[in-house]
Structure 1
């Protein structure tokens, strides 16, 4: 399930995750205590923003929403692009929506915020001086990104056409899951959950963060003011749990096999 940081530079591969919250300080305190992140200022175009570092290397971004913007707080997966403007046009031509950008984030790169035809939000990142997540496969780093949607057939063509993914269906049949490959490597997934799709969230991209002990991590989430949405359970890729932070942003923690 995990991917090397170098893989994330391939156009289409997840390369960065970012969260916009109402209180940057409270969010930094939560993730700093949970994952051991340290923070440094990042581009301030949309307001206060900080990059999270682990062992001196960039792993994620945290920003603060303007006080008058009452938007859902959620992690956003960014997909790599060699040309954000061209990718934005491909998104539009395939039935998606580009809500923000493309625009420059200082000298770090060029970005856009988009959604697929069913409304799942994701970002586009064309790196310049900052290419994306610099550390992977370590506790406290993003190790997998997965689109959770009603069914895989309805969005498969969109992601294949825009990002040139090669999709492989799950085995055994009956489990509605596609693994997305680029240059022979698994980089992301699409999970069709049918009627189990959360009504309050709709289709969305889920970020998985590695932890050394999933059960301990879920206890820590609760201690820090977050919530456990799906308790720790075993899977083919490791022990995982779905949790939410202090402002309700949902993510998954996994103890990889």
Structure 2
């Protein structure tokens, strides 16, 4: 059973990864100081928090009462980088991880049981880190997309090569009903689900660059009402502004995790 609904679009909707396979379904932050992280993102993005079932080092961020992101103070314990990471929905985490490895990717963590599902942390063959998720989606999917709202961009060496890797790993552009659609626009690849853009893959990153922000990586974007206000709040709470204009700001939290805020478009 892939999809059970209490009320369409509501916070009580229960959606399983198999029903939105291949699409981004969650974002998580691995950090060091949980209290400081909650204070920072609460001020910058207006999030509230609740405890996660995984233990005291984990929190769930809420926007308008909808779960939108996870935070784990495990960077030091797990010896992994402080960073924002997108997760993609898969019907079978073991199969997806095996596909990634067979295509030159690596598995850093998992797949592990992380109630209410199973997840793994991987890297593609250019070195960009991403996650996969099997099981119940914490924020639903439609509700998560509307409440976060998030967008992700892969900065990589070769967007076409990356699209082939992710397509074969996550079943993009397959014959399966509900598959994500892939469009090639020059050096950029656009990923859509049911006509909605959910990710972009862009060429130009350099694998050997000394600056981590120039190496292949997934960048998580959050749409906000006030870009400048978010930037000023980030600076006040010990973060930094790496780039800023009227429509977008690239920010860094006090732990060094980079993310982008974009001006919310009025529908």
Shorter-chain TM band:
0.7 to 0.9
Q: Distance in 2 between matches of 1:197 and 1:230?
A: 22
Q: Distance in 2 between matches of 1:11 and 1:243?
A: 30
Q: How many correspondences in the alignment? A: 241
1:55-105 alpha-carbon deviations (Å, 9 max, x no partner): 221010111126555542100100011111111111112221112111111
Q: Which of these residues, 18, 26, 36, is aligned with residue 46 of structure 2?
A: 36
Q: Distance in 1 between matches of 2:227 and 2:44?
A: 12
Pairing of 1:1-257 with structure 2 (within 5 A): 10-44=20-54, 48-65=57-74, 67=76, 71-106=80-115, 108-128=116-136, 130=138, 134-138=143-147, 141-165=148-172, 166-170=181-185, 173=186, 176-194=187-205, 199-201=210-212, 202-233=215-246, 239-257=247-265
Q: Distance in 1 between matches of 2:200 and 2:208?
A: 16
Q: Distance in 2 between matches of 1:211 and 1:37?
A: 12
Distance change >3 Å, CA 7–CA 214, structure 1 → 2: farther
Distance change >3 Å, CA 7–CA 48, structure 1 → 2: closer
Distance change >3 Å, CA 196–CA 221, structure 1 → 2: farther
Distance change >3 Å, CA 68–CA 18, structure 1 → 2: closer
1:213-241 alpha-carbon deviations (Å, 9 max, x no partner): 212221221112111111125xxxxx111
Other structure's SS at 1:248 match: coil
Q: Under a length normalisation based on structure 1, what TM-score does the superposition of the two structures give?
A: 0.84
Q: Distance in 1 between matches of 2:94 and 2:102?
A: 13
Stretches of structure 2 that go unaligned for 5 or more consecutive residues are 1-8, 173-180
Query: Are the equivalent residues in 1 in contact too, given 2:117–2:133 (CA < 8 A)?
Result: yes
Q: Distance in 1 between matches of 2:41 and 2:113?
A: 27
Q: Distance in 2 between matches of 1:136 and 1:152?
A: 24
Q: Distance in 2 between matches of 1:7 and 1:129?
A: 6
Alpha-carbon distance, 1:169 to partner: 2.4
Distance change >3 Å, CA 30–CA 194, structure 1 → 2: closer
Q: Under a length normalisation based on structure 2, what TM-score does the superposition of the two structures give?
A: 0.81
Other structure's SS at 1:147 match: strand
Stretches of structure 1 that go unaligned for 5 or more consecutive residues are 234-238
Q: Distance in 1 between matches of 2:120 and 2:207?
A: 29
Measured on the aligned residues, the alpha-carbon RMSD in Å equals: 2.6
Query: Are the equivalent residues in 2 in contact too, given 1:197–1:203 (CA < 8 A)?
Result: no
Query: Are the equivalent residues in 1 in contact too, given 2:101–2:107 (CA < 8 A)?
Result: yes
